[in-house]
């Protein structure tokens, strides 16, 4: 894990680290961010994406791509890339070749949208472990009401098997496309997350109920990814306290301690773990009982996983250095800082001022504006 074990030198964001087969120059990762620049009809990565990832690659330890769908029916929004067609593989190959030319490492984040899908996007009813829609609380005539999204179809065993096979094929395609590894998207209310947490998984078969059963599908997907890439080039992103897209768990500590122990047994390379930026009170409309708050996510789960732990969410340079020095995380992934600072690592190295002038309107819209036109630092 750490290259400096036993060394009196303090570790920080700029310290080298060993991750799987790779010796990385620092501990700074670019996290996965949905940006909507792929071809909306084909899911083929564009030339804009080649430029975008290359701009940020040369000194970054690892770049994680935006979430990438494994089949035509697993995409949640137009403009998201896929990894299930020859054209998509060829498009991603342009990205990985360009990133490698500047000395970077890039992992594909592989994903199925689950109940976050919309039939208006991919012409099929979304699927999930249980037929439970995403609930959103909205103000209607001055009162709070729950508005349900489209109700997903509950997966049967054949459907589960097919999706697992699609994940394996997606990993095989990622290998063909030249990726250095893969990260399973197990966060933000997408399919893997839907199986993990008991607010979205009320099944009565081998995939529901107990923690062991709810972790079964995520671990089966991890196993097929490992078959393709080997355990040392596979990781997983999780949000134990994330509430995005109506995601909750009655006992997240028990759920994720079990998951992390199982991932450790498989010797996967890393887990990217999100802390909650703040705790939002759960509305009484949801009627969720027994929800557990976890104020210190990194401290809670640090000992549960033996691989590299990557901290994420609302972390700045100072906080990142502190977390690494204390041993609570091994690496840190940054999102918005990387959007407006393509040279983020150099700015950290030289204590240069960060560009915080983010164009939020262009986060996930087509075109170069707000995507590849952020400037590098210029000395005055």
DSSP string, 259-321: HHHHHHHTT-SEEEEEPPSSPPPPPTTT---S----S-HHHHHGGG--SEEEEESS--HHHHH
| pLDDT for 288 | 47
Q: Read off the pLDDT band of 291 (50, 70, 90).
A: low
More confident residue, 365 or 112: 112
| pLDDT for 8 | 44
**Least confident window among 129-138, 291-300, 358-367:** 291-300
Whether 370 maps to a domain, the answer reads no
**Residue 321 pLDDT > 70, yes or no?**
yes
| pLDDT for 277 | 61
Angstrom distances, CA of residue 119 to CA of 78, 127, 129, 167, 181:
12, 10, 17, 21, 31
Whether 11 maps to a domain, the answer reads no
pLDDT in tens, 322-342: 999 999 999 999 999 999 999
Mean pLDDT of the 287-293 span? 52
List Cβ neighbours of 35 (8 Å cut-off, separation of 6 or more).
Answer: 49, 52, 66, 79, 363, 364, 371
| pLDDT for 218 | 98
| pLDDT for 122 | 73
Q: Read off the pLDDT band of 285 (50, 70, 90).
A: very low
Average pLDDT, the chain: 92
| pLDDT for 279 | 47
Q: Which of 52, 53, 188, 190 is catalytic?
A: 190
For the chain, the domain total comes to: 1
Whether 187 maps to a domain, the answer reads yes
Whether 325 maps to a domain, the answer reads yes
Tell how strand 62-69 and strand 135-140 pair up: unpaired
**Residue 141 pLDDT > 50, yes or no?**
yes
**Residue 129 pLDDT > 90, yes or no?**
yes
Percentage above 70 pLDDT, the chain: 93
Give the range of the structural domain holding residue 68, as residue numbers without chain letter.
17-362
The CATH number of the domain holding residue 110 is: 3.20.20.70
Q: Read off the pLDDT band of 293 (50, 70, 90).
A: low
Whether 369 maps to a domain, the answer reads no
| pLDDT for 3 | 47
Q: Phi first, then psi: give them for residue 5, nearest 5 degrees.
A: -60, 130
| pLDDT for 52 | 98
207 is catalytic: no
pTM of the model: 0.94
Q: To the nearest 10°, the Cα dihedral for 258, 263, 264, 265?
A: 90
**Residue 174 pLDDT > 70, yes or no?**
yes
Could you tell me which of 73, 49, 63, 272 has the C-alpha nearest to residue 163?
73
Whether 374 maps to a domain, the answer reads no
Q: Read off the pLDDT band of 278 (50, 70, 90).
A: low
Mean pLDDT of the 110-136 span? 90
Whether 337 maps to a domain, the answer reads yes
| pLDDT for 143 | 83
Whether 380 maps to a domain, the answer reads no
Residue carrying structure tokens 């995005």:
244
Q: Are the C-beta atoms of residues 77 and 117 closer than 8 Å to each other? A: no
């Amino acid at each position: 894990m750490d290259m400096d074990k036993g060394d009196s030198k303090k570790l920080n964001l700029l310290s080298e680290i060993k991750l799987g087969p790779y010796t990385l120059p620092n501990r700074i990762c670019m996290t996965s961010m949905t940006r909507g620049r792929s071809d909306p009809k084909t899911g083929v990565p564009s030339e804009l994406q080649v430029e975008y990832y290359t701009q940020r690659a040369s000194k970054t330890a690892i770049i994680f791509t935006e979430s990438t769908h494994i089949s035509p029916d697993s995409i949640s929004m137009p403009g998201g890339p896929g990894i299930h067609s020859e054209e998509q593989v060829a498009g991603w190959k342009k990205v990985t070749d360009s990133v490698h030319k500047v000395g970077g490492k890039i992992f594909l984040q592989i994903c199925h949208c689950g109940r976050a899908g919309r039939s208006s996007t991919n012409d099929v009813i979304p699927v999930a472990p249980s037929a439970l829609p995403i609930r959103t609380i909205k103000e209607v005539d001055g009162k709070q009401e729950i508005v349900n999204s489209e109700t997903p179809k509950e997966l049967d065993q054949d459907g589960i098997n097919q999706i697992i096979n699609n994940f394996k094929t997606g990993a095989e395609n990622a290998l063909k496309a030249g990726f250095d590894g893969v990260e399973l998207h197990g966060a933000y209310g997408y399919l893997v997350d839907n199986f993990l947490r008991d607010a979205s998984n009320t099944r009565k078969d081998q995939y529901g109920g107990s923690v062991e059963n709810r972790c079964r599908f995520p671990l089966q997907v991890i196993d097929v990814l490992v078959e393709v890439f080997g355990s040392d080039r596979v990781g997983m992103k999780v949000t134990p306290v994330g509430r995005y897209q109506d995601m909750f768990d009655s006992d997240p500590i028990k759920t994720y301690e079990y998951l992390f122990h199982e991932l450790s047994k498989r010797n996967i390379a890393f887990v990217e773990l999100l802390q909650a930026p703040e705790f939002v009170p759960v509305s009484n409309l949801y009627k969720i009982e027994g929800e557990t708050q976890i104020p210190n996510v990194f401290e809670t789960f640090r000992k549960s996983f033996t691989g590299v732990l990557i901290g994420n969410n609302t972390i700045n340079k100072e906080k990142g250095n502190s977390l690494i020095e204390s041993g609570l995380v091994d690496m840190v992934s940054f999102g918005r800082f990387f959007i407006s600072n393509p040279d983020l690592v150099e700015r950290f190295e030289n204590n240069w001022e960060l560009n915080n002038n983010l164009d939020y309107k262009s986060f996930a819209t087509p075109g170069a504006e707000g995507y590849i036109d952020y400037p590098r630092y210029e000395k005055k």
